[in-house]
Structure 1
């Protein structure tokens, strides 16, 4: 449900990591660890397209399959709830101080979700994996995702420290505003609360970089799917703006990747926003698509692929990324107007592994 500080979990996986071939451009926040020469050679063959699906013997540490995130232990199931089959309209609520350039980056990403004309690999192609999820009638998640009416709260009307529940009050303020309220759309509306870098939110940087849920009628007056994502630039960029910032444990071990739009915090937010949108579309009321038996702690379609951005990704290793030849920035998806973004992959419901349009087997 949330992009959490499970980046800390990646620390434990670091000791099991296998170094990648030099030709692979990816982010790894620790020195290379060679388990064995045979394992390294096998990994190189897999990441460069060699072989037809062999496995890597990591000396008794288990078998790593070719496909990113694949596991016989993942039991993603449909729990009969709705998915967003109607045209989706995203309503951003800008809480705090936002520069026009920052808003432009996030708006460009949201507009790119339905922009079929963007070059390959595109944000729209990434969304096609989300669209594979269906409801009990067989209807797919909508292909149409629109940027709707917005609301700005520059005066921090709920303060600079928000609880999770206070996020719903921010939404209520937006939909009940006396002037230009955001429309209420329980069927296809998604309400996206974006907090600026000087706003503290409960569990931010400790357990979550973002989360989604649905509003309570007792607070907002309606049941609406919503998400919150914070700008981590001044609070925890090494955790929530990965891989554009180096985690504290990796300072001095290597440098961060350059963000494609020149803003570490906002470029980091893009992937978290994508994560939450994918989960809201496939599990808006937390009773549709997720793994596990407890709906209070579901493992959703983006949770399964956290930290995976390209072929070979997994275990704190991003996988192969694209590099902008002019700026040297890392990205994996194209958007509208020449924009570029780095967005995590999504669990593919038919292939049962993490997938994205920049995968080597999609080229």
Structure 2
């Protein structure tokens, strides 16, 4: 339900795969989860093998466990074409919007180089409803609404976030369309806006609107730009926490620490909204008010070897920027999601998996 970013452990910390998963699950159930830090890039390890980059020579996969019980609770999932409507709350630069639009536009795109965002979405598509219909492969960028004048102020609560959505769908000019069945509403707050719990290890969340506030039940997510407030919390590994001054941040693939950090959180929330839009479909655990969803299980895992204190194997482009997936025109760093068919975290850049 919420994207909780990790605290970074000391570089010497290592955790074996089975212990790492147990630690991850306990963290998810008890509070902010622990951290991951990157392995060295293959650029700097020219003789590295696939075995070198897994945990020993075991082929057990990232986050794999027979103890994770991802269950379907009979609620709807998004099997029809999905349309994402964006509310740009606050002050956004044109280039920042372009980065996020191109990420969203890459989810259903064909022709992007492997490993691609579209291949990442194929893991999300594995989830079905009670009829056996899969989540849609089609994710479309819908209409957009700009709220440049901070109509609800620069400090938003979770309830006032719903009022932001109400203002967008009831605006007198160019209101966002109301699509309860296949529309997702994405509230993106600029770097000068504080949203409730931002920087308190929460970088985004999803839920659904209350008819008493908005007039409709609409699945929505909020993700904030943490560039000014807490980049070390929500834009890791492109920024590092203040308590880890010796750890060097990685270079963001699109040159914007805050927005490049947002992209992974947006992916996290979209995957969970598609598979659990009304909090009654796919999740682990017994409490629907605090579900462990398909992206929660893989927080901080971006590649092979991820889990415990490691992000996993990532890549560098010619300019030294770190990424793990290709969009149509750009490169992105996006966390993996849980594959319930084989019970491990999956991503298209895996060195030891077939997605």
Bin the TM-score by the shorter chain. Answer: 0.7 to 0.9
Residue 289 (str. 1) matches residue 282 (str. 2): yes
| Residue 28 (structure 1) aligned to one of 18, 27, 37 | 37
Residue 333 (str. 1) matches residue 347 (str. 2): no
Write the mapping of 1:315-334 to structure 2, written as runs, cut at 5 A. Answer: 315-325=308-318, 327-334=319-326
Aligned residues: 327
CA distance in 1, matches of 2:55, 2:224: 37
Are 2:238 and 2:252, in contact at CA under 8 Å, matched by a contact in 1?
A: yes
CA RMSD in angstroms comes to 2.1
Deviations 1:80-125 (A, max 9, x none): 0000001000001000000000000000000000002111100000
CA distance in 2, matches of 1:265, 1:276: 17
CA distance in 2, matches of 1:176, 1:358: 42
Determine the structure 1 residue equivalent to 2:336: 345
Write the mapping of 1:191-340 to structure 2, written as runs, cut at 5 A. Answer: 191-251=185-245, 253-325=246-318, 327-337=319-329, 339-340=330-331
Residue 181 (str. 1) matches residue 175 (str. 2): yes
Higher mean C-alpha displacement, 287-296 vs 311-320: 311-320
| Residue 51 (structure 2) aligned to one of 45, 48, 66 | 45
Are 2:55 and 2:305, in contact at CA under 8 Å, matched by a contact in 1?
A: no
Determine the structure 2 residue equivalent to 1:21: none
Determine the structure 2 residue equivalent to 1:2: 2
Determine the structure 2 residue equivalent to 1:33: none
Determine the structure 2 residue equivalent to 1:34: none
| Residue 75 (structure 2) aligned to one of 81, 98, 101 | 81
Cα distance change on mapping 1:351 and 1:46 into 2, 3 Å: farther
Determine the structure 1 residue equivalent to 2:148: 154
TM-score normalized by the length of structure 1:
0.86
Gaps of 5+ in 1: 19-26, 31-42, 54-65
Determine the structure 2 residue equivalent to 1:355: 346
- How far does residue 362 in structure 1 lie from its aligned partner after superposition? 4.8
Are 2:190 and 2:224, in contact at CA under 8 Å, matched by a contact in 1?
A: yes
Are 1:13 and 1:315, in contact at CA under 8 Å, matched by a contact in 2?
A: no
CA distance in 2, matches of 1:342, 1:44: 20
CA distance in 2, matches of 1:331, 1:135: 32
Are 2:203 and 2:224, in contact at CA under 8 Å, matched by a contact in 1?
A: yes
Cα distance change on mapping 1:13 and 1:67 into 2, 3 Å: farther
CA distance in 1, matches of 2:88, 2:297: 28
CA distance in 1, matches of 2:279, 2:10: 29
> Structure with the greater relative contact order (CA < 8 A, sep ≥ 6): 1 or 2?
2
Which has more radius of gyration?
A: 1
Query: What secondary structure is seen at the aligned counterpart in 1 of 2:207?
Result: strand
CA distance in 2, matches of 1:162, 1:12: 34
- How far does residue 75 in structure 1 lie from its aligned partner after superposition? 1.0
Cα distance change on mapping 1:12 and 1:322 into 2, 3 Å: closer
CA distance in 2, matches of 1:29, 1:131: 28
Gaps of 5+ in 2: 17-35, 40-48
Deviations 1:314-334 (A, max 9, x none): 113111101101x11000111
- How far does residue 11 in structure 1 lie from its aligned partner after superposition? 3.7
Are 1:310 and 1:321, in contact at CA under 8 Å, matched by a contact in 2?
A: yes
- How far does residue 163 in structure 1 lie from its aligned partner after superposition? 0.1
